Structure 1
Amino acid sequence: MDIVALSELDKRNRLFIKILWGMLTLGIVTDFAIGLNIQMILMLAGLGSVACGVATFMTYRQIGVQYIKYYVVCIFTLIVLFLIVSDPNPIISTYFLVYVNLAMMTLYQDHKPIIFTGILGAAVSTYLFMVPSLREQLFPHESLVYIYLYLAFATAALAFSAKFSKKLQQQVVKEQEETLVAKHKAEALLDKLKASILMLNEFSERQQETARERSYYWKHF
C-alpha cells in the first residue's frame, strides 16, 4: 500500500475511533438514564474503555493500520450487544444500531469489512433471537430467516456499492496518473523542441557571421 492510501486509511481509522468513544459514552449515559445496576455500568465503562483505548493506541501509533477497522467493528458490535442485553426493556431501535454499524463501514470504501460486519450482525441477531425474552421484545412474530434476509440484502447492497465506488476511484486515479505522464512527456518534447530551435538559431547566426567575414575579405583583398 502506498503512502497516500495509508494516510487516507489512517484518517478513516481516527474518525471511527472518535465514533467508537462517542458510542461508549452514549451507552454509559443511557444505562444511567434507565437506572441500570451500577456494577453493570462500571463493567461497560471498564471493558469498553480498555477496548477503545487499545484501538486508539493502535490507530495513533499506526500499528496494524489495515486491521484496525475489523477490530473497531468487533468493539462496536459488542457495545451494541451489551446495550441490548443490559437493558431490562430493550427496544428495536437499539438493535438497528447493527445496521448503523454496517452503514458506517462504507466510509472505508472496501467491501471486505462490510461483509465482516454483516456476518457479526447475523451472529448478534441469532443470539438475540435464541434468547426467548429478547426475542419476544425485539422480534415478536418474526422469523429468523427474514432477519437474515434483511441483513443479507443490506450487506450485499452496501458491499457492492463500496466495491463499485472503490473501482471508480481507482479508475479516476489511474486517469490522473496517465494525464500527468502525458503532461511530462509533452513538457519533455517541448524542451527538446526549444533546444532544437536554439541550435538552429545558433547555426544560422554562425552561417551569417561566416558569410559576412567572406564578403568583407573579398571586398578588401
Structure 2
Amino acid sequence: MTAPTLSLIMPVLDEATTIQTTLASLQPLRARGVEVIVVDGGSQDATEVLAAPLCSRVVEAPRGRARQMNAGAAVAGGEALLFLHADTRLPVEADRLIAAALAGGHRWGRFAIRLEGRHPLLPVIATAMNLRSRLTGIATGDQALFMTREAFETVGGFPDQPLMEDIEMSRRLKRFSSPACLRQKVTSSGRRWEQSGAWATILLMWRLRFRYWRGESPEALAREYRHVR
C-alpha cells in the first residue's frame, strides 16, 4: 500500500449528530489517497461507531483538542498534516492546494474562513478573522491548520494546554517559517456566535486572547471560557 502524502486529523467529542455528514464530505479526498484519522476524546454517544466506516482509522486519546491532535499525528502516515475541526468543511481541492503551498516553500499554513449561519454579523466576523490572520501570521483551528511533519515535530507538536493551543502553535511555527495564507475558504459553523451572542462572543474571545498575550495561564482562561459558555 502506498503511504499517504497528506494525513487529515480530526479531534472529536460527542459528534454523533454530525460526524457522518462531516466525514461523507471528505470521501473525495480519501479517494485521492488522503488518510483521514478521527481522534475521539471519550465520547459518550455513538461517534466512534458512526465514524469508523467513513475514515481510515479511529484513535482514542485523553480529552483535550491538543492531546487528541497530537495523538492523531503520532499514528499518521503522511508527510503533511492537516488538522480539521468536526464542524468545518474543506474546499474540494484542499489536498492539492496544500500540496502546492508546501511545494512552494512554505512549511505550514491555513485557509481563509467562511462562517455558516443566519446572523448578519457572521460575514463581518469571518472577514475580520481572515484579515487579522494575514496581518499577524497567527491562525486559529477553525481555519484548518496544515503543516509538514518536519515542522510539526520541530516545534514539538501542539502544546498540552486546554485553550489557545492553536494560537501558541502558530507562534511556534512562525519562528520556523511564515505561513501560507490561502485565500480559498473553509466553511465553519457560526453556532458559537449565534448561541452566545455575536458581540458577547467577540468581546469574550478578544479579552481571553489579550490576557493570554499578557501571560495568564491557559488553564485559568479555559475555566472562564467554560463557565461563560
Task: Judge same fold: TM > 0.5, yes or no.
Answer: no
Q: TM-score under structure 2 normalisation?
A: 0.25
* TM-score using structure 1 length: 0.26
By percentage of residues, which structure has more strand?
2
Greater relative contact order (Cα < 8 A, sep 6+)? 2
Structure possessing the higher radius of gyration over alpha carbons: 1
Name the one with the larger helix percent. 1
